[in-house]
Structure 1
Amino acid sequence: MKADHLIEMANQIGSFFDSLPDREEALTGIAEHIRKFWEPRMRRTLLAALDGAGADAGAEQAGFTEIVAAALKRHRDSLTPAAAP
């Protein structure tokens, strides 16, 4: 899948969780949803796009909403797929 499409999908998930009054709960919800329902290849591509974006301003220029970029950065360890044996 193309990174642009994955970013768009992640932003849609972020839009849902952004309505929660508790920001920490929203960030965790975004990360948990992506971890549970996205295959490892999709998560690798999304994290690589975030890495390629650079700083926070770069993440937004790459198409990430602020809440999605924050969720990916905060929960990166749980989102990074285990290395293949």
Structure 2
Amino acid sequence: MTTERMLTMANQIADFFRSFPHEEAVAGVAQHVRQFWDPRMRRKLLEHLDAGGEGFDPLVREAAARLRQPA
């Protein structure tokens, strides 16, 4: 998966949850990524964030902090 495709997918998830209350939106993004993305995709997301996270929606950035914690 390219970085561009990963960014698009992550930001689309954030767009879906944007209408939820903020805390629910962050939790929803994290839960979706945890449930539906395979470990390689999650690792790529976290690596991109570690490199600055250019292009990620703020909801994705917040949700990523939860992805670093055990489920």
Q: TM-score when scaled to structure 2?
A: 0.89
The Cα shift of 1:67 comes to 1.3
Q: Distance in 2 between matches of 1:18 and 1:76?
A: 21
Alignment of 1:41-56 (within 5 A): 41-53=40-52
Q: Which residue of 2 aligns with 1:29?
A: 28
Q: Secondary structure at the match of 1:7?
A: helix
Q: Which residue of 2 aligns with 1:72?
A: 64
* Runs of at least 5 residues in structure 1 that lack an aligned partner in the other structure: 54-58, 80-85
Q: TM-score when scaled to structure 1?
A: 0.75
- What letter is aligned with 2:50? D
**Computing the radius of gyration over CA atoms, which structure comes out larger, 1 or 2?**
1
- The share of aligned pairs that are identical, in percent, is 46
- What is the number of residues matched between the two proteins? 71
How much is the aligned-residue C-alpha RMSD, in angstroms? 1.5
